[in-house]
Structure formats: C-alpha cells, structure tokens
Chain A
Amino acid sequence: MSGSDRPLLEVRELRHQYGSHEVIGGINLSLTPGEFVAIVGPSGAGKTTLLRTLSGLLRPTSGDIFMHGEKVDSVPSELAMVFQDYSRSLFPWMTVAANVNFPLRRMRQLSKAERAERVRESLESVGLAGTERKYPWQLSGGMQQRVAIARALAYRPSVLLMDEPFASVDAQTRMDLEDLILRVWETHPMTVLFVTHDIDESVYLSQRVLVLSKSPTRVVRDIAVPLPRARDQFATKALPEFAALREEIAGHILGRTT
C-alpha cells in the first residue's frame, strides 16, 4: 500500500453480532483512492455481512467508519453496490435505461438531459449501447450483470462495492466480466472493494487481497499483488508470481479451517 495516500474509506474495529453469535469480530481496513481491493475468505466468513455494513444495509454492532478521514454515522452516498443476484437486483418492470437512471432520480442537481447522458455513457462503457429500451429479462445473465454495473457507474461512486458479482454466471462470461470490470476501473476514478470466494479471481483482479478468517471474522492477511497492471486471462495466470500468490492465500484460508 502506498503510504502517501490519505485513506478514502477506513474501518476501525467493526463488529457485528446476531444475538450472541459474533459474525464479524473486529475488522480493520483502509482503502486508498483508486485502489482495487479483493476480499476472500472461507465460506461462512462474514464476507457479505461486512459489505452489508459498509453499504449501510446493516448497522454494525460497534466500530467506526471514516470517509476522507472524517467519522460518518450513516453511510455516505458515495458508495454504490453490485449484488450477486443480478436478476433480483434489477427491477423487471423498468427498462434497462430506467434501471440505470433510477438512483439518479434523486440527484436534483442533474437535469433530465444530463441524466440521460450519464445513462447512455454508462451503458456504453459496459458495452451495452443500444439496449436502453429493452427489459432486463430480455438479456442474458452476463448482460444483466453489466446493466447492474452500469447502474453503479452512472451513480459515480467513489467506492464501488461488489458482492460476489460473478458467482452466478458461466465461466466464459465470468472471464469477460472480470476483464470488463478491470477496464471500467481503469477508466473511472473509483476504488473497488470486490468480495469473492474465488482465490484466482481475487488475485487476477486486485492490487491487494484481504484474507478473512472464519467467523468471528477478522482480516488475517493483507497481501499486496505486485503483478503487472495490465492483466490477461492467460498470460497473467501463467506467471509464477500468480501461482505463488494463489498458493499463499489458499494456505491462509485452509490453515484457518483445520
């Protein structure tokens, strides 16, 4: 992590309990502007719970969240979220354009034309130009998830939270979407926090991987990914460094489970 950057989002001693069961047990993490950070952990680790507390869907039992160095009580509107279940995250009664536009409606400072322009731009940047008037259910799963990504982009978040976004698409589509999100991240000034259970995916996409323990969840390792920034599905994954990182992360995850 380059220490010169002031953290964009910082989480200190975040805990969450369901009744007496502690799911998250004191998480600390800090994201610098423009970073791509992946979070991996064994299944049953509170990965989704962590993202839900960060996105404001769940109130943490204790802990502090800082944005730009300032403590925030409610989650600021600078975060956007992409869910795993794209078919239920998009609204089937709205067209693709209306879905992307929906979070923009409350942005009073934008004129109708500006919002339409943002919708068009966002759809174009995920390769879905011209699908504005279609309905989500007329598109394939991969395309639907791209609509969800476009919706998040149109929102212009400073942090994009992604909760296992590619876990329900086929392998080929998954590779396409991984490269798409990298391209989108390169061209948009935002930090991405990407939750996945797939170790390869975490290494392939990110600059830094946070490894979580089983619940009560903590960050057990913070591993930098010093791979060349331009990634390639085959060349990058064939690098010895890639294999070494994957082995290291797998070791931490498996080590915790036994």
Chain B
Amino acid sequence: MNSVANRVLRVALPLIVLAAVIGIWQLVTTLAPSFFFPTATRIGDAIADLYFSGPPEHFFLSDAFFSEVVPSLARLFSGWALGALVGIILGFVVGLLPRVAGYVDPVLQFLRSVPPPVIIPLYLILFGIGDEMKVLFIATGVLWPVLLNTIDGVRNVPTTQLDTAQAFKIRVPDRLLHVVLPAALPKIFAGLTIGVAVAIVVMVLSEMFAATNGIGYMLLQGQRGFRFPDMWGEVVLLGIIGFLFNTLLLFVEHRVLKWHRQSKGTI
C-alpha cells in the first residue's frame, strides 16, 4: 500500500513542480506584462501555430514542422550517431593499445579542450554551409566525451576478467565483444549521455551560424523579427527534444545495463 502511494508520489511530484513553474511564469508575465517575456499560454499558442496546426492526415504537424524541425532532428541524430560510432571505435583502439594511448594522450587532451564552437569557421570553409558541415560539426562535438569515456572504460576492465578470458583461450574477437565491450559499457553510456547534451547545443549553434532552416535558424529569425513568443517557443521545443532524446537513451541504458545496476545494488 505504502509503496503504491510512494510510486504515485514519485511520478506526480515532478509533474506538480513542472506545473508550478509554468504557473508562476504565467502569473508573473500576466501581472507584469513584458514584450520580451510573453505569457506561457502565448508561447504555447506560438508553438501550436507554428508546428502543430497541420491537417489530421499529417498527424496535425504543419508544413513548417517538416521544413524546420525534421531537418534539425535529422542532423541531431545522424551527427550524434556518427560521433558516437567513431568515438567508440577509436576509444577501443586507443584503450586497448597502452602504447598508442601514451603517444596520443597529449593530443587528445589538447583537442578536447578546444571548445566546439571555435571550429565552425574552419568547418564552413572545409565543408560549406550544407547539412554535411552541420552533421560533421555535431559529430565532432559528440566525439570527445564518447571517446574519452570509452578509453577510460576499456582501460579499466577488471584484470581478473581479462585473465579469465585468456586462461580459457577465448578468441580475441570474442574477448572484445563479450568481455571488454560489456565491461566498458557503463562508461560508454556515460559518454553517450554527455554527447546528447553537447549534440543539441552544437546543432542549434550550427543552425544559427549558417542555415536556411532548422530550429536554431527559426530561433534567430524570431528574435530578429521581434516575434518573441515564437523565439520562446523554439526554446521550449529544444528543451522538449533534449528531454525526449535523453529519456530514450536512459530507457535503452536501463535495459542494456540492468546487470550493472543490480550487481552494484547487492554488494
């Protein structure tokens, strides 16, 4: 009985807090109207008008949704996936070869300290202003947290686990796939989660710099055209996208790393 009540509270409380924040925003912006801070309902209307006013056969998604939000999401996912894939593969190579790790460590430390935005000018010259540039830019941002976490995970596989695999003459590909990868997976997921946050920042940034569509582009257009409800609408939309992406990743992690959580819980 108590546990049911607890569970209801655990789901309900965050929603109540969220509703309270929206309510306070609404109250303050209604009592003290400001051109720059529209009310929550106006922001909601702006989002609905822009993106969710389409015909029923398009699930109420408007043309603007397909021309602005969908390209952003496509860049976000493909950039993140590319950065993650390259990061994991490179992380295995560096993590498994201690000598290589020693050689490349100073370079890695330098490169990861370079803030992603500063490479935009270079990428503009190298790759133009098309989608390739944005996807590669996002991938570059995602690469570092995934790479460094994978290296860390691969290097810290318990020695006894590696010894066991070796003593039983497990083949090297099997060792990588069934011992090193699962052992490093908690760290890799940590890198992937940081990667999601980085990917969204970098995606918006690339669209503000050089784009003719996308959420970042629309955000800037809203600000430049003094359409502040629209601008705020894009901010809210970005928050929702980040939340959903993160939740999706957490859901996958929850299933894949069940053993990790539970084995820690029992010790």
Chain A residues within 8 Å of B, Cβ to Cβ: 52, 55-57, 77, 79-81, 83, 85, 88-89, 91-94, 102-103, 105-106, 135-138, 151, 155
CA distance A151 to B179 in the complex (A): 16
A106's partner among B161, B164, B171, B182 (CB-CB below 8 A) is: B171
CB distance from A183 to the nearest CB of B (A): 23
Among A83, A102, A138, point to the contact of B266 (Cβ < 8 A). Answer: A138
Determine if B263 and A92 form an interchain contact, defined as CB atoms under 8 angstroms apart.
yes
B118 at the interface (CB under 8 A from A): no
Q: Tell yes or no: B267 within 8 A of A by CB.
A: yes
Point out the residue from A83, A91, A93, A102 that lies within 8 Å of B163, measured CB to CB: A83
The closest CB in chain A to the CB of B157 belongs to: A88
In the complex, B158 has a CB within 8 A of chain A: yes
Q: How far is the CB of A135 from chain B (nearest CB, A)?
A: 6
Chain A residue contacts of B164, Cβ below 8 A: 81, 83, 89, 91
A135–B167 CB distance below 8 A: no
From residue B263, how far is it (CB to closest CB) to chain A in Å?
Answer: 4
Asked if B259 and A102 sit within 8 Å, CB to CB, the answer is no
Q: Is the CB of A89 within 8 A of B161?
A: yes
- Chain B, residues 147-175, CB within 8 Å of chain A (1/0): the string is 00000000000111101101111110010
Q: Which of A77, A85, A93, A105 contacts B182 (CB 8 A)?
A: A93
Decide yes or no whether B254 CB sits under 8 A from chain A.
Answer: no
Distance of A106 Cα from B208 Cα, bound (Å): 54
Known: A89-B160, A93-B259. A103 touches B169 (CB 8 A): yes
The distance in angstroms between the C-alpha atoms of A135 and B168, with both chains bound, is 20
The answer, among B166, B168, B260, for a CB contact under 8 Å with A155, is B168
B262 at interface (Cβ–Cβ under 8 A)? Answer: yes
In the complex, chain A residues whose CB is within 8 Å of the CB of B267: 137
Question: Contact between B169 and A77 (Cβ–Cβ < 8 Å)?
Answer: yes
List of A residues within 8 angstroms of B161 by Cβ: 88-89, 91
Whole-angstrom CA separation of A154 from B2 in the bound complex: 47
Pair B169/A137 contact, Cβ less than 8 Å: no
Contact yes or no, B260 A93, CB < 8 A: yes
Sort A-B residue pairs by CB-CB distance and give the 5 closest, nearest first: A103-B168, A88-B160, A137-B263, A81-B167, A93-B182
The minimal Cβ–Cβ distance linking B267 to chain A, given in whole angstroms, is 7
Measured CB to CB, the closest approach of chain A to B186, in angstroms, equals: 10
Question: In the docked arrangement, what's the CA distance between A102 and B171, Å?
Answer: 11
Partner of A137, one of B170, B174, B266: B266
B261 → A minimal CB distance (Å): 11
Cβ–Cβ < 8 Å partners of B159 in chain A: 88
25 A-B contacts (beta carbon < 8 Å): A52-B163, A56-B167, A57-B166, A57-B167, A83-B163, A85-B160, A88-B158, A88-B160, A91-B164, A93-B183, A93-B260, A94-B178, A102-B168, A102-B170, A103-B170, A105-B174, A106-B171, A106-B174, A135-B259, A135-B262, A135-B263, A136-B263, A137-B263, A138-B266, A155-B168
B158 CB contacts on chain A under 8 angstroms: 88
Q: In the complex, A204→B160 CA distance in Å?
A: 28
**Bound-state Cα–Cα, A77 to B170, Å:** 10
